Amino acid sequence: MANYIKLKKSNCKNCYKCIRNCPVKSISFSGTQAQIVEDECVLCGMCFVACPQNAKEIRSDVERAKALLAGDAPVYASIAPSFAANYDNVGISAVRNALLKLGFAGAEETAYGATVVKNEYDRICNEGTQDVVIATCCHTVNLLIQKHFTEAIPYLAKVQSPMQVHCGMLKKAHPGAKTVFIGPCISKKAEAEDYEGIVDCVLTFEEFGEWLQEAGIVLEPTETQNEPAGKARFFPTSGGILKSMDCSSEKYSYLAVDGMSACIHAIQDIIAGNIHNCFIEMSACPGSCIGGPAMNKAHKAPVQGYLAVEKYAKQAKGADFPVEQPDSAEITKNLIFLKKEKPKAGSRAIEEILHKMGKMRPEDELNCGSCGYNTCREKAQAVLDGKADLSMCLPFLKDKAETFSDNIISNTPNGILILNEDMEVQQINAAARKILNIRHQNDVLGEPVVRILEPFDFIEVLSGGLNIHDKRVYLAEYNKYIEETIIYDRMYHILMCIMRDITSEEEEKAKKEEMSRHTIEVTDKVIEKQMRIVQEIASLLGETTAETKIALTNLKESLKDE
């Protein structure tokens, strides 16, 4: 593959929506970024459609088409019949006119090739040599079987797609010409490159629309009644192949299956031998090609799209496009084995990964699918394959985060009290219960905070919007001193109070103050007594007491400062 779907790394937010929608789980996560596993990808485009961040983008081949136009060979376009659903009230002549303005030599509907393909399907049914016939114009269905359900390869109708047949017809009619297919599909880019020499370039409707906008060309609504018509225009709708076929063979039951999930279930039933004598039309996209991933976003309306195609196709009135049916060998398609076998981990290795995700018992395996995988064991296998990591398990992360936060709240020496905006207690830890003399948390949960604390500081923070930090508060009812921090979280609409018990510090401080006071009193008495003695000695010696008084007074002041 050649990076048909690319990733905008900066946009990936690890929501895992792409892998939840990927039917074959061909997405890996490395460095917190989603990556396409090309060996497994079937190019259904579901990750592209599902990504909420537009992190996936389809490879643009507009420059390649422009390069073809700049060459010496004439370039002809094959337009998928789903264009009727993509462009309102626009016929093939309007699309052809726009392409001529871009420099194309001509354009036709791919439905001409579809007519040849449906004739070949009728021939296969009339021969009746295959027990089950899987008929598909969808390269994604072919890749699904070639890469993931190889046992079903013998049941595939080995017929080229309408795109290949029609481009071959254009090259036969215009020797030396180049061909460009325009449609709603990503996997057609891969089909063109996997079978070289038939289709030279593939553009999606989105690429074509951007090119027209860049060139200032507008598709004008046109009358379609006078254009050649054929019932093969039904091909892009669910059951459209069957509507265009004769379906006259009594050996087969004829049915249509669309959507990857339905296709996978049908293929599994075929492999298991539960289905016989059946002709099954398969399309990867729900609603078939009109639900393609590269339809313009404004036209992804299955019912409206079907009605638009039906209205356009009914102009044929049951007739076919005039085509010359080639020999079957000319339109045979070689469908090879593409599966890359990977070793499956043993049960012990799976169990080790499950244990790392906190899943110790079978009942711990929720199989919730939040990581994108259908089961926990499938996710564990992906971890061993290097496609996933443990952090993709959301219940595991949630439990881990809650356990971590619970450990912090439970073991911190600080009291933590959580209130809602109605001043009701939502959570209280053991340290807070000890400070407030509360035996059980259920005694206060859901109760107004006024039952256990004065609410004034909480009201001030809630109404004023300014948090309180390290405020010293005396709780008279509990005879305790705390250092209080109150924070208002507007996002989660909660008030969090952190209380540090400083009662012992305050008591120690009071003791020191009492000791200092007592020391000052004793010092005063000593000074007084010493002054009398000094005065008596001084009177005898005839000296002043000034220096002694200053020294003792300094001592007293220093004690006061302490």
Per-residue pLDDT of 522-539, as tens digits, reads 777 877 787 777 677 766
Name beta bridge partners: 134: 156, 280
Distance of CA 504 to the CA centre of its chain: 54
pLDDT above 50: residue 294: yes
Residue 372 near residue 22 (C-beta atoms within 8 A)? yes
Element spanning 409, H or E: helix 394-411
pLDDT above 60: residue 272: yes
Residue 121 near residue 110 (C-beta atoms within 8 A)? no
- Specify the 3-state DSSP secondary structure of 485: strand
In the block, tokens 């103050």 appear at 513
When pLDDT is cut at 50, 70 and 90, the band that residue 163 belongs to is very high
**Least confident stretch, 16-30, 273-287, 382-396, 443-457:** 382-396
- Residue 1 is predicted with a pLDDT of 43
- Residue 50 is predicted with a pLDDT of 85
Residue 161 near residue 118 (C-beta atoms within 8 A)? no
pLDDT above 70: residue 499: yes
**Residue 369: partners with Cβ closer than 8 Å, 6 or more residues away:** 20
- Residue 519 is predicted with a pLDDT of 78
pLDDT above 80: residue 222: no
**Least confident stretch, 155-159, 482-486, 511-515:** 511-515
Q: Report the C-alpha gap between 518 and 535 in whole angstroms.
A: 26
Give the global pTM. 0.72
The residue with greater pLDDT, 361 or 420, is 420
Residue 517 near residue 498 (C-beta atoms within 8 A)? no
Q: Report the C-alpha gap between 82 and 59 in whole angstroms.
A: 21
Amino acid at 441: Q
Q: Report the C-alpha gap between 182 and 68 in whole angstroms.
A: 14
- Residue 29 is predicted with a pLDDT of 80
- Residue 319 is predicted with a pLDDT of 87
When pLDDT is cut at 50, 70 and 90, the band that residue 224 belongs to is low
Q: What is the mean pLDDT of residues 13-32?
A: 83
Q: Tell me the DSSP string of 62-81.
A: HHHHHHHHHSSS-EEEEE-T
**Residue 378: partners with Cβ closer than 8 Å, 6 or more residues away:** 25
Q: What is the mean pLDDT of residues 495-505?
A: 93
Element spanning 262, H or E: helix 260-271
User: Closest by alpha carbon to 202, among 292, 306, 321, 328?
Assistant: 292
The residue with greater pLDDT, 167 or 379, is 167
pLDDT above 80: residue 225: no
- Specify the 3-state DSSP secondary structure of 247: coil
**What is the pairing mode between strands 253-258 and 201-204?**
unpaired
Q: What is the mean pLDDT of residues 313-340?
A: 89
- Residue 216 is predicted with a pLDDT of 96
- Residue 556 is predicted with a pLDDT of 63
When pLDDT is cut at 50, 70 and 90, the band that residue 199 belongs to is very high
Q: What is the mean pLDDT of residues 86-108?
A: 92
- Specify the 3-state DSSP secondary structure of 400: helix
- Residue 266 is predicted with a pLDDT of 97
When pLDDT is cut at 50, 70 and 90, the band that residue 516 belongs to is confident
SS3 per-residue string spanning 505-525? HHHHHHHHHHHHHHHHHHHHH
- Residue 455 is predicted with a pLDDT of 93
Provide Rg for the chain, Cα atoms. Answer: 40
* DSSP structural state of residue 442: G
Q: Quote the mean pLDDT of the chain.
A: 88
**Residue 274: partners with Cβ closer than 8 Å, 6 or more residues away:** none
pLDDT above 60: residue 299: no
pLDDT above 50: residue 186: yes
Burial of 245 (C-beta count, 10 Å sphere; 0-12/13-18/19+): buried
When pLDDT is cut at 50, 70 and 90, the band that residue 210 belongs to is very high
The residue with greater pLDDT, 353 or 122, is 122
Residue 530 near residue 457 (C-beta atoms within 8 A)? no
Element spanning 188, H or E: helix 187-194
pLDDT above 70: residue 308: yes
Q: Tell me the DSSP string of 274-306.
A: ---SEEEEEESSTTGGGG-TTS-GGG--HHHHH
Q: What is the mean pLDDT of residues 465-473?
A: 92
**Residue 291: partners with Cβ closer than 8 Å, 6 or more residues away:** 258, 285, 300, 302, 305
Q: What is the mean pLDDT of residues 197-206?
A: 96
Q: 408 vs 243, 412, 414, CA distance in Å?
A: 67, 6, 10
User: Closest by alpha carbon to 249, among 121, 124, 119, 126?
Assistant: 126
pLDDT above 70: residue 497: yes
Sheet containing 278-283: give its strands across.
132-135, 278-283, 253-258
In the block, tokens 């305050």 appear at 506
Residue 335 backbone dihedrals phi, psi, to 5 degrees: -105, 110
